[in-house]
Amino acid sequence: MEQLAIKLSNLDELESWNSHSNGFDLQTKKAAYQIAETLWLKRMATNEKLFMHPKVLEQLETQSWKPNGLQKRMIWASYLGSDESQQSKKRLKKS
């Protein structure tokens, strides 16, 4: 499970997590996703890939990178707004 979490946390594309976790049971996926989320957030913040207010990032750090509901929405907004992949371009054309 920890290896899966590390593998997922190193992927920038959150939408690909499901395809990279095929073959694992639901409980293992859920636990791995929870660990991967915190590792992913820390990595993205450290690499300055999340466009969020510094105070929000400080809060996340003090919360051990476990976001609350509002922070999750901010993270998704930052992620979607900064995504320049082909998948992002397709998603925007559908809108």
At residue 10 the predicted structure's pLDDT band, cuts being 50, 70 and 90, is: very high
- In this prediction, residue 80 carries a pLDDT of 84
Residue 32's Cα: distance from chain center in Å? 12
At 34-81, the pLDDT tens digits run: 999 999 999 999 999 989 999 999 999 999 999 999 999 999 888 888
pLDDT score recorded for residue 13: 87
Total domain count, the chain: 1
Supply the pTM of this predicted model.
Answer: 0.82
Phi, psi for residue 19 in degrees, rounded to 5: -70, -30
Domain membership of residue 36 as a residue range? 2-94
What is the structure's pLDDT at 41? 96
* Residue 1: closest CA among 35, 38, 40: 35
